[in-house]
Structure 1
Amino acid sequence: MNQYDLIVVGSGPAGRRAAIQAAKLDKKVLVIEQGRRVGGVSVHTGTIPSKTLRETALNLSGWRERGFYGKAYRVKQEISADDLRRRLLITLDHEVEVLEHQFARNRVQHMRGKASFVSPDTLEIQKDDNDVVQVSAKSILLAVGTRPFRPDYMPFDGRSVIDSDELLEMQNLPRSLVVIGAGVIGIEYATIFSALDTAVTVIDPKATMLDFIDKEIVEDFTYQLRDRNMKLMLGQKAEKVEHMPDGKVQVTVDSGRRIITDMVLFAAGRMGATDTLNLAAAGLEADSRGRLRVNPETFETSVPGIFAAGDVVGFPSLASTSMEQGRIAARVAVGAIAKEPQKYFPYGIYSVPEISTVGLTEEEMKERGIPYECGIARFRETSRGHIMGLDSGMLKLIFSMKTRRLLGVHIIGETATELVHIGQAVLNLKGTVEYFVENTFNYPTLAEAYKIAGLDAWNRMGEAPKDESKAAPAPAEKAATPAAKTKADDKKAAAK
């Protein structure tokens, strides 16, 4: 039997970061991956493919240049599924090569096969050649990720009714698309295909979408989608999906309305990939969505020595936070000191346009009873925005009236997921509105929007009384209690 200090099941963001962290601490590490190549869902069907598809669609369609050259402008007149896939394959090969090199450089062993528990410290690995081996470790980290939720009533055929994994294998670009599910994944793909001039309809039983995002940002986002003729059928449930004799698909909603489309993408949730792990042998039990409960500070499960990180533990299900969860879990697992992650982390939605946020929303400020003021900047107000031909996009900053501290950053528009990190740093370092007023930003840049938004808020707030900008945070702005934080996280997870 092979003995290790840490066994990691899954090589996605959480798994690979955990394995490399433990290896750098001179521990013997094994990574088990059942996919054909290392990288997990993030590299092969999730984060990297969807973002590569987005970038390819925007480049080939000429989307970013239409502000100057008109809506009919195209870089490539006829865009095919092969055009999108070509760049995707190049990107994925690079990601796998980098990851394999990291494992080799840090002497992380990895094995291909399907793992299942024999006991809390032992795993059985079914290899492709039907060989079975057993391995054991002082600690085990489950980073198996998730897969698309596929209900029995949905007539999936891999061609005209598909899930988000199958989307990457499509043979032809549809002229019309119905997306069932207005969560992050559904909205990302819906807007990408809309940018390719596919007629897109989004259906979701909830009357609102992206409820964890600041409401003003969502309203701006909704306006932009409808302005380019996307149909948002919110508050309506898709009751029946049927294949038609001519190859098209008919979707019937609970209002009785019927939509005929070339393709249906079902993107209403994901399931934790834990059903093949034989969790019972380890004394573990997953919830109805296949997810595992963990200590939010150490990521240890209810069974000592068994940890879980990444999408399999639920919200926020981001590649960035999964990496940090894996790193922390690995340090705890091998007995190293691990600091609690930063309270505020950025959330990025790679839709068209992008949305990114960090900190509190305006709605959360009201719920907590914190007096506040907002500063707004439109990208078209910046010289760089004019140079880029932007006629949309905005940055919203939220400040405390008592302490003048930055408490929320919300951005919609080009490079939002990059710009948010300026606000993230200021927020976590407890900076005030004066930071944006008194500091110089490169010109011309979109980052200059921070200066504009800061001045907008400062004009409304007035100049700070002497030394007040250095005052300690008011009691109302102290970190939320664990119960309040859990309640807030549950609300965001439900929204996602």
Structure 2
Amino acid sequence: MNQYDLIVVGSGPAGRRGAIQAAKLGKKVLVIEQGKRVGGVSVHTGTIPSKTLRETALNLTGWRERGFYGRSYRVKQEISAEDLRRRLIITLNHEVEVLEHQFARNRVQHIRGRASFVGPTTLEISKDDESMLVSGTSILLAVGTKPFRPDYMPFDGRTVVDSDELLDIRELPRSLVVIGAGVIGIEYATIFSALDIQVTVIDPKTTMLDFIDREIVEDFTYQLRDRAMKLNLGQKAEKVERLDNGKVLLTLDNGRKITTEMVLFAAGRMGATDALNLPAAGLEADARGRLKVNPETFQTTVPNIYAAGDVVGFPSLASTSMEQGRVAARVAVGAIAKEPQKYFPYGIYAVPEISTCGLSEEEVKERGIPYECGIARFRETSRGHIMGLDSGLLKMIFSLRTRRLLGVHIIGEGATELVHIGQAVLNLKGTVEYFVENTFNYPTLAEAYKIAGLDAWNRMGEIKAE
């Protein structure tokens, strides 16, 4: 039986970052991946495909130029599913090649197969009709998640699909109903809306994206409704039926009926732990297949077994998963692992983008912190004029007592890039004066930080001399 210092199950963001970190520390590492190619959910059905689909849709539709040329402007008049898939395949191949090269360069061994526990330190790897046993001093579970597929939903991979199956559709529908107003549902809903497809979103909750600052969500909601997206919040799809004419009929709990060409069910995901035989290792997953870990070390209830990434739950971001995997690997091989920075950015790759870091205005109120806000709209910047932007805003929240930045919230073009300036200032405990006294490139959207900083400073006033 082959012996390793660290065995990593899964090659997504957490798995690959953890494996490479351990290898750089001189450890013998094995990665087990059940997919046809390395990369995990992030590369093949999650983060990279959805963001590639978004970028392709915006480019082919000419979405970014419509501020100048009108809503009817399109770069390509007839856009097909094949148009979207062509760029997706190229991107995924590049991602896999980079990852395979990283493994080779760092001497990380990887094997294709399905892993299951035989004991706390031993795994069986099954592939086709063959199997083998491997042993690891430590084991890192980075298996990610899979779409939640309830029995009452008549999935067929064509007219009723989950978020994985959506990437393989052969024709773009004329109408789409998205069940679930979470991050995944909203991202796909807005991408298909940008393709000029009639989109309806259904969710039993009366609100959406509750972890995002309410002012940002209100602006986002206005933009979606302004382009004729239907948001049926506070309503539940009680029955979903495939019709003989190829369409789908949804009956809502208020009696309303909706007919559509396609339904995307995106109401949650499950930890992909069902095939791991967790009891053999002394582990147990929750009802959603997730594993409980120490949030500082990512150690499970079994001392030599660690878990990182989406399988441990919120925030379920590729970015945070990478850092979790790195920290877990360091702890697993006995290296020092520093506590991660307090504030990390959250990005929602909808159309328009949303990104946030730090406290929302609602959280600041709940904590009883006296505060002031500064807001800049992208149309106030010269770069915004050049780009033809008529929407988008940046909001910053400052403490009146310490003048420190408490949170930054952005909606609009480039939000997921711009947020990192705010993230740096947050973690370095910067104040409103940073934005007022520093120079930003002109013309850039980053200049919005200066505008928002001045907006808040004008209300807060100067620091009084002692």
TM-score of the pair, normalised by structure 2: 1.00
Aligned length: 466
Q: Name stretches of at least 5 consecutive residues in structure 2 with no aligned partner.
A: none
Q: Distance in 2 between matches of 1:72 and 1:234?
A: 29
Aligned to 1:166: 165
Q: CA deviation at 1:464?
A: 1.1
1:457-479 deviation digits (Å, cap 9, x = unpaired)? 00000101237xxxxxxxxxxxx
Q: Distance in 2 between matches of 1:147 and 1:340?
A: 29
1:134-183 deviation digits (Å, cap 9, x = unpaired)? 00011000000000000000000000000000000000001100000000
Aligned to 1:199: 198
Aligned to 2:33: 33
Q: Distance in 2 between matches of 1:342 and 1:310?
A: 17
Matched, 1:378 2:351: no
Q: Distance in 2 between matches of 1:96 and 1:229?
A: 38
Map 1:331-370 → 2, pairs under 5 A: 331-370=330-369
Aligned to 2:105: 105
Aligned to 2:62: 62
Q: Distance in 2 between matches of 1:199 and 1:131?
A: 48
1:271-298 deviation digits (Å, cap 9, x = unpaired)? 0000000000000000000000000000
One-letter amino acid matched to 2:47? T
Aligned to 2:85: 85
Q: Distance in 1 between matches of 2:363 and 2:465?
A: 29
Q: Distance in 1 between matches of 2:177 and 2:251?
A: 11
Q: Distance in 1 between matches of 2:340 and 2:324?
A: 8
Report SS of the residue matched to 1:30.
strand
Q: Name stretches of at least 5 consecutive residues in structure 1 with no aligned partner.
A: 468-496
Map 1:32-431 → 2, pairs under 5 A: 32-128=32-128, 130-431=129-430
Q: CA deviation at 1:245?
A: 1.0
1:49-96 deviation digits (Å, cap 9, x = unpaired)? 000000000000000000000111110000000000000000000000
One-letter amino acid matched to 1:2? N
One-letter amino acid matched to 2:222? Y
Q: Distance in 2 between matches of 1:145 and 1:23?
A: 21
Q: Distance in 2 between matches of 1:233 and 1:74?
A: 28
Q: CA deviation at 1:268?
A: 0.1
Percent identical? 86
Runs of 4+ in structure 1 off by over 4 angstroms are none
One-letter amino acid matched to 2:276? L
Q: Distance in 1 between matches of 2:369 and 2:346?
A: 22
One-letter amino acid matched to 1:28? K
Q: Distance in 2 between matches of 1:251 and 1:318?
A: 31
Aligned to 1:472: none
One-letter amino acid matched to 1:267? A
One-letter amino acid matched to 1:23? A
1:429-481 deviation digits (Å, cap 9, x = unpaired)? 000000000000000000000000000000000101237xxxxxxxxxxxxxx
Map 1:431-442 → 2, pairs under 5 A: 431-442=430-441
Report SS of the residue matched to 2:458.
helix
Q: CA deviation at 1:110?
A: 0.2
Aligned to 2:443: 444
Q: CA deviation at 1:322?
A: 0.1
Q: Distance in 1 between matches of 2:416 and 2:463?
A: 31
Report SS of the residue matched to 1:99.
helix
Aligned to 1:20: 20
Aligned to 1:481: none
One-letter amino acid matched to 1:108? V
Q: Distance in 2 between matches of 1:182 and 1:465?
A: 47
One-letter amino acid matched to 1:258? K
Q: Distance in 2 between matches of 1:465 and 1:21?
A: 49
Q: CA deviation at 1:343?
A: 1.0
Q: Distance in 1 between matches of 2:131 and 2:364?
A: 55
Q: Distance in 1 between matches of 2:426 and 2:18?
A: 27
Q: CA deviation at 1:131?
A: 1.1
Q: CA deviation at 1:232?
A: 0.1
Q: Distance in 2 between matches of 1:183 and 1:314?
A: 14
Q: CA deviation at 1:22?
A: 0.1
One-letter amino acid matched to 2:327? I
Report SS of the residue matched to 1:397.
strand
Q: Distance in 1 between matches of 2:463 and 2:384?
A: 31
One-letter amino acid matched to 2:384? G
Q: Distance in 1 between matches of 2:294 and 2:386?
A: 48
Report SS of the residue matched to 2:17.
helix
1:211-254 deviation digits (Å, cap 9, x = unpaired)? 00000000000000000000000000000000111100001110
Q: Distance in 2 between matches of 1:272 and 1:464?
A: 51
Aligned to 1:484: none
Q: Distance in 1 between matches of 2:38 and 2:64?
A: 34
Q: Distance in 1 between matches of 2:110 and 2:390?
A: 49
Q: Distance in 2 between matches of 1:341 and 1:285?
A: 27
Report SS of the residue matched to 1:187.
helix
Report SS of the residue matched to 1:153.
coil
One-letter amino acid matched to 1:90? I
Report SS of the residue matched to 2:132.
strand
One-letter amino acid matched to 1:235? G
Aligned to 2:4: 4
One-letter amino acid matched to 1:407? L
One-letter amino acid matched to 1:231? K
Q: Distance in 2 between matches of 1:390 and 1:253?
A: 37
Q: Distance in 2 between matches of 1:139 and 1:466?
A: 57
Q: Distance in 1 between matches of 2:267 and 2:362?
A: 25
Q: Distance in 2 between matches of 1:289 and 1:89?
A: 31
One-letter amino acid matched to 1:125? I
CA RMSD of aligned residues (A): 0.5
